[in-house]
Chains A and B, each alone.
Chain A
Amino acid sequence: MLPAFMTEAAFRDLLYIVSFALFITGLSGLTGPTTAVRGNRIAAAGMAVAVVATLLRPTVSNWGLILLGVALGAVIGLVSARRVQMTAMPQMVALFNGVGGGAVALIAWVEFRGSDGFTHVATYVAIFTVFAAIVGSVSFWGSIFAFSKLQGLITGNPVTVGRLQVPLNAVLVAITVACATAIVAGGDGELLFVALLVAGAVLGAALVLPIGGADMPVVISLLNAFTGLSAAATGVALNNTALIVAGMIVGASGTLLTQQMAAAMNRSIRSVVAGGFGGTGELPAGGGEAAPVRSTSAADVAIQLAYASQVVIVPGYGLAVSQAQHALRQMTKLLEASGVIVKYAIHPVAGRMPGHMNVLLAEAEVPYDQLTEPDEINPELPRTDVALVIGANDVVNPDARSNPQSPLYGMPILDVDKAGSIIVLKRSMRSGYAGVENPLFSDPKTAMLFGDAKTSITDITEALTPLVGAAAATP
C-alpha cells in the first residue's frame, strides 16, 4: 500500500514527526487558560500516534507482554488519576514523574544486559544510556521521597546531615561518575551497573530529604525536567526521534518552569537544592516572646463582613487542608447576594504548588474573573474594608517588604496589612511553612479566628445568614 520510496522505517519516522508536532501544539495550548484543555488532549493524541507508530513493524515479538504492560499501566494510571483529591495533586504529580524516571532507569538496565555490558555498541550509546540510568534513578527515588514527604509518610521538615550535606552529595556524585566512567570504559560487570543505579537512588534521596515542604513544588518541577532529559538521552541511545524530541522539550520547558516557580517565591534553584529553608530550623525566631494577638468570634466576623462594601479573600494552604473551598463558596455567595464585592487574591505560591489554589477554587466553582493576582489586587487593598486571610501566612507577611533580616525579605507578598481591617482564620499560632514570625498577626487592625478553616467558615456562614437578609432589606 505504501509508495515504493517509503520504507516501513520512513513511515514510522513520519508518524513520529506528526506526533511531536502534536506535542508542541498541545504544549503551547497549555500555556493559555482558554486553550489549555484542548492543548492537553492534543498532546495526548500525539502520544497515541507515537505508540501506534512504534508498533507498526512487520514482526512484533512479545505482543502479549506489551499489551499486558500497557493495560496494567493504563488501569493503574486511570484509577489513581481519577481518585486523587485535588488537595493531594502535588504528590500525585511527583509519583507519576517518579515512575517515568523509573521506566528510564529500567530500560537502561535492560540495554546494558542485552548488549553484554555495552561491548558491542557504539561508545556514545553507552554514554547516553549510562546518563539516562543515573538521572532516571535520581528522578525515581527523588520523586518517591518527595511523595512520601507531601503525603506525610515521612516528616515534611528538612532532614539533613548538617554541614556534611554538601560533601556527602559531592561524594555521591563522584561515586556515580566513577561507576559510569568504568562502565563506558569497558567494564561489563553487572554489579557495576547495579551500583550505579543504587548510587543514583541515594543521590535522589540526599537531594530531596533536606528540602522543606515549602520548596517541594520547585523540586518536583526540577525532577520533572530531569526525567525529560533522561528520556531524551534514552532516545539518542535508541535512535528514536520521538523520544529525543518529546524528552528534550520537557527537559527544556521543565527547567524554565522550575525557574519561574522559584522566582515566584523569590528563591533561586540553587538555594532550593542547597536546602535548609522551608521548615522549622535554625531560623531567627524574632526574640522568642509571643506578641499579643486579638482573637475574635465567628459572629463578629460575620457582622464585619456583612457591612463591608469590598472583601478580599486570601486563601492559603490551610484552606486546602481542611477542604474548605466549597464552604467558602457558600459564604461568598451569601455576601454577593447582599451586594458585597468579593474578590480572591491568589498569591502565585498559595497552596503547595503554584496555581494549586486556582485549581481548588475553580473546583468550588468560584468564577474565574474573581481570582486576582498580587499585581492586580495590591493597589485595591487600601480601599478594601476587610481582608479575610484563610490559612495563609508567609504570603501576607509584611516582613517580606520591610525587614531585611527576615528570610522572606524580598518575596512579593499581598499587602493585606493595608486593608481597613484584617481577619485571619488560622488553626493555631504556629508559624507558617517557612517557620518565620508574622507581625501581621499582632497588628492592632488584625483579629484572629482560631480553629479549623472549614468549621470557622461554616460558623461564619451560619451567623451571616440572618444578617445578610437584614442588610439586603435596608437600602
Chain B
Amino acid sequence: MLVTSLGTLVLAGFVGYAVISKVPTTLHTPLMSGTNAIHGIVVLGGILLLATGAATGTFDKVLAVVAVIFGTVNVVGGFVVTDRMLEMFKPKDRR
C-alpha cells in the first residue's frame, strides 16, 4: 500500500510541476487562490473520520467537525473567490 501511495505521490508531483510551468504573471494571484481551493480536499479526511466512525468520543467528534468546517471553508471560499477574480478578466464584448 505504501509503495503504491508513494508512486502516486511522485507522479502527482511531476504533474503539478508540469501543469504550472508557464503562467503569465497576470494570473499568479488567481492561480494561487485556485490551487489554494484544491488543497481544501483535506475536507475528505475530516468526513472520513466521521463517516467511518473513527472519531468516537465527544472530543474527537468535535475536532473532526471543526476539521470539516475548516476544510469546507477552504474549498468553497477558495473557489468562489477565484471565480470572482477571474470573472473580471472576461472580455465584456469581443472585438
Q: CB within 8 Å of B: which residues of A? A: 20, 23-24, 26-28, 30-33, 36-37, 39-41, 43-44, 47, 50-51, 54-55, 57, 60-62, 65-66, 68-70, 72-74, 76-78, 80-82, 84, 86, 89-90, 92-93, 96-97, 99-100, 102-104, 106-107, 109-111, 113-114, 122, 124, 217, 220-221, 224, 227-228, 230-232, 234-236, 238-254, 256-257, 260-261, 264, 346, 348, 353-356, 358-359, 362-363, 365, 368, 371, 373
A107 CA to B60 CA in the complex, in Å?
9
Q: Give residues of chain B (61-95) contacting chain A, Cβ–Cβ below 8 Å.
A: 61, 63-92
Q: Give residues of chain B (21-64) contacting chain A, Cβ–Cβ below 8 Å.
A: 21-57, 59-61, 63-64
Q: Is the CB of B72 within 8 A of A256?
A: no
Q: Is the CB of A252 within 8 A of B49?
A: no
Q: Is the CB of A356 within 8 A of B73?
A: no
Given A70-B72, A81-B80, A238-B45, check contact A114 B16 (CB 8 Å). no
Per-position contact with A for B1-21: 1 when CB-CB < 8 Å, else 0? 110011011001111110111
Residues of B with C-beta under 8 A to A250: 16, 35-36, 38-39
Q: Could you tell me the distance in whole angstroms from the C-beta of B61 to the nearest C-beta in chain A?
A: 6
Excluding A36-B30, A373-B25, 14 further A-B contacts by CB distance (< 8 Å) are A40-B82, A43-B34, A43-B38, A62-B50, A65-B61, A69-B50, A93-B81, A100-B74, A103-B68, A106-B46, A107-B49, A240-B48, A249-B15, A355-B25
Residues of B with C-beta under 8 A to A74: 72, 76
Contact of B8 among A241, A252, A260 (CB under 8 A): A241
Q: Nearest chain-A residue to B80 (Cβ)?
A: A81
Q: Is the CB of B81 within 8 A of A110?
A: no
A190 CA to B77 CA in the complex, in Å?
33
A66 CA to B65 CA in the complex, in Å?
7
- Sorted nearest first, the 5 A-B pairs with minimum C-beta distance are A73-B72, A69-B68, A252-B16, A77-B76, A77-B77
Contact of A122 among B2, B36, B51 (CB under 8 A): B2
Q: Could you tell me the distance in whole angstroms from the C-beta of B4 to the nearest C-beta in chain A?
A: 9
Residues of B with C-beta under 8 A to A107: 42, 45-46, 49, 64, 67
Q: Nearest chain-B residue to A136 (Cβ)?
A: B42
Query: Chain B interface secondary structure, helix, strand, loop or mixed?
Result: helix
Q: Could you tell me the distance in whole angstroms from the C-beta of A355 to the nearest C-beta in chain B?
A: 4
Residues of B with C-beta under 8 A to A373: 25-26
Residues of A with C-beta under 8 A to B38: 23, 27, 43, 47, 228, 246, 249-250
Query: Chain A interface secondary structure, helix, strand, loop or mixed?
Result: helix
Q: Is the CB of A69 within 8 A of B25?
A: no
Given A39-B34, A348-B25, check contact A73 B71 (CB 8 Å). yes
Residues of A with C-beta under 8 A to B87: 37
Q: Nearest chain-A residue to B52 (Cβ)?
A: A61
Q: Is the CB of A362 within 8 A of B77?
A: no
A247 CA to B79 CA in the complex, in Å?
16
Q: Is the CB of B34 within 8 A of A97?
A: no
Contact of B28 among A60, A238, A248, A353 (CB under 8 A): A353
Q: Is the CB of A236 within 8 A of B54?
A: no
A264 CA to B79 CA in the complex, in Å?
25
Q: Is the CB of A31 within 8 A of B19?
A: yes
Given A55-B47, A110-B67, A238-B45, check contact A92 B81 (CB 8 Å). yes
Q: Is the CB of A30 within 8 A of B42?
A: no
Residues of B with C-beta under 8 A to A70: 43, 47, 68, 72
Residues of A with C-beta under 8 A to B56: 114
Given A27-B19, A249-B16, check contact A228 B35 (CB 8 Å). yes
A253 CA to B45 CA in the complex, in Å?
22
Q: Is the CB of B75 within 8 A of A47?
A: yes
Q: Could you tell me the distance in whole angstroms from the C-beta of A125 to the nearest C-beta in chain B?
A: 9
Q: Could you tell me the distance in whole angstroms from the C-beta of B15 to the nearest C-beta in chain A?
A: 6
Residues of B with C-beta under 8 A to A257: 20, 23, 28, 31-32, 35
Residues of A with C-beta under 8 A to B84: 81-82
Q: Is the CB of A30 within 8 A of B5?
A: no
Given A50-B44, A57-B51, A122-B2, check contact A224 B35 (CB 8 Å). yes
Residues of B with C-beta under 8 A to A368: 89, 91
Q: Is the CB of B8 within 8 A of A245?
A: yes
Can you report 30 A-B residue pairs in the complex whose CB atoms are below 8 A from each other?
A: A30-B34, A33-B27, A37-B87, A44-B37, A62-B50, A68-B65, A69-B67, A76-B72, A78-B77, A81-B76, A81-B78, A96-B78, A102-B67, A230-B42, A231-B42, A242-B44, A245-B12, A249-B12, A250-B38, A253-B19, A253-B35, A257-B31, A261-B28, A346-B26, A353-B28, A353-B29, A355-B25, A355-B28, A359-B85, A368-B91
Q: Is the CB of A232 within 8 A of B9?
A: yes
